[in-house]
Structure 1
Amino acid sequence: MIKFSEPGADLFIPGGGSIANALSRTSHLAIAAHQDDIEILAFHGIAECYQQAERGFCGVVVTDGAGSPRAGDYAEYTDEKMQEIRAEEQRAAAKLGKYSAQFQLAYPSHQVKNTPALSLVDELEEILIKTQPEVVYLHNPMDKHDTHVAVFLKSLAALRRLPEKNRPKVVYACEVWRDLDWVCDKEKIALKSDEPRELALALLQVFDSQVSGGKRYDQAVLGRRLAHATFSHSHVVDDVKGVTYAIDVMPLLEDSMLTVEAYVQGFVERFAYSLTTTLAALSQD
Structure 2
Amino acid sequence: MKLFIPDQSEQTSALVRTTHLGVGAHQDDLEFMALHGILECFQRADKWFGAVTCTDGAGSARTGAYADFTDEQMQAVRVTEQETAASIGQYAFMAQLGYPSSAVKTPAPRAALVRELRDLFATARPEVVYTHNAFDKHPTHLGVMLAVLEAIRELPVSERPARIYGCEVWRGLDWLPDDIKVLQDVSGHPNLAAALNGVFDSQIAGGKRYDLAVEGRRTANATFLDAHSIDDANRIQYALDMTPLIAGDAPLALDAFMRDILERSDTLMMDAIATLS
Q: Return the offset for 1:76.
A: 1.1
For 1:26, what is the secondary structure of its paired residue?
A: coil
C-alpha distance after superposition, 1:70-105 (max 9, x if no partner): 111111111111010001100000001000100000
Tell me the equivalent position of 2:60. 68
Tell me the equivalent position of 1:261. 255
2:216 paired with 1:223:
yes
Tell me the equivalent position of 2:240. 247
Q: Distance in 1 between matches of 2:145 and 2:210?
A: 21
C-alpha distance after superposition, 1:5-41 (max 9, x if no partner): xxxx300000112011111210000110000000011
Tell me the equivalent position of 1:92. 84
C-alpha distance after superposition, 1:198-249 (max 9, x if no partner): 0001001000000111111111101100000110011111111111110111
Q: Distance in 2 between matches of 1:103 and 1:192?
A: 26
Q: Distance in 2 between matches of 1:188 and 1:17?
A: 37
TM-score of the pair, normalised by structure 1: 0.95
C-alpha distance after superposition, 1:247-266 (max 9, x if no partner): 11111112533521111111
Percent of aligned pairs sharing the same letter = 47
Map 1:119-130 onto structure 2 (within 5 A).
Answer: 119-130=112-123
Q: 1:169 aligns with which of 137, 158, 162?
A: 162
Q: Distance in 2 between matches of 1:62 and 1:245?
A: 22
Q: Distance in 2 between matches of 1:93 and 1:49?
A: 14
2:190 paired with 1:197:
yes
Indicate if the aligned counterparts of 1:194 and 1:200 stay in contact, CA closer than 8 A: no
CA-atom RMSD in angstroms? 0.9
Indicate if the aligned counterparts of 1:229 and 1:238 stay in contact, CA closer than 8 A: yes
Tell me which stretches of 4 or more aligned residues in structure 1 moved more than 3 Å.
none
Tell me the equivalent position of 2:141. 148
2:265 paired with 1:271:
yes
Amino acid at match of 1:239: D
2:232 paired with 1:235:
no
Map 1:19-98 onto structure 2 (within 5 A).
Answer: 19-98=11-90
Tell me the equivalent position of 2:202. 209
Q: Return the offset for 1:114.
A: 2.0
Q: Distance in 2 between matches of 1:45 and 1:174?
A: 11
C-alpha distance after superposition, 1:148-184 (max 9, x if no partner): 0010001100011111111111110111000000011
For 1:168, what is the secondary structure of its paired residue?
A: coil
Tell me the equivalent position of 1:136. 129
Tell me the equivalent position of 1:280. 274
State the aligned residue count. Answer: 275
TM-score of the pair, normalised by structure 2: 0.97
Q: Distance in 1 between matches of 2:252 and 2:258?
A: 10
Amino acid at match of 2:58: A
Q: Return the offset for 1:195.
A: 1.3
Q: Distance in 1 between matches of 2:232 and 2:107?
A: 45
Q: Return the offset for 1:115.
A: 3.6
